[in-house]
Structure 1
């Protein structure tokens, strides 16, 4: 008999997320839930709702893309 298979959403995680990473993930989830699926509205949402970008600078499209790529490499 074959065992049931399941997806472990954290199977590729190398470490637990930092508090800032969790806040960013939560804010991105809220942006998606609010119907924001394009980069510009998501950046606008993050600048309004937070968390602030690294070093406290405002989010830009380029910064969000580079930060998400960086996080994907370290996850």
Structure 2
């Protein structure tokens, strides 16, 4: 079986991630590693991480949903 048939990790990437995207990903990974798997807990972890939301306001569930949707577009 040829491994080149499988998706490469960055195959779908259109551009390199920004510093903000890297920091957001790192904060989300730290939350998951700490056993946080629910949205309210993730929002609390993001607020405790020191990484501001794009608007500079505290993270809320709605801001998180909007930001992840925007990044996925």
TM-score by length of structure 1 reads 0.88
Query: SS of 1:63's equivalent?
Result: helix
> 4+ residue runs of structure 1 moved beyond 6 angstroms?
none
Q: How many residues align?
A: 72
- Tell me the equivalent position of 2:25: 25
- Tell me the equivalent position of 1:4: 3
Long gaps (5+) in structure 1: none
Long gaps (5+) in structure 2: none
RMSD: 1.2
Task: Choose between structure 1 and 2 for higher RCO, CA contacts under 8 A separated by at least 6 residues.
Answer: 1
Which range is displaced more, 47-56 or 22-31?
47-56
For residues 15-39 of structure 1, what are the alpha-carbon distances to aligned partners after superposition, in whole Å with 9 as ceiling and x for unaligned? 1111001000000000000001000
For residues 31-74 of structure 1, what are the alpha-carbon distances to aligned partners after superposition, in whole Å with 9 as ceiling and x for unaligned? 0000010000000000011311012110000000110010011x
Which range is displaced more, 62-71 or 48-57?
48-57
TM-score by length of structure 2 reads 0.90
Provide the rounded CA distance (Å) in 2 between the counterparts of 1:12 and 1:50: 29
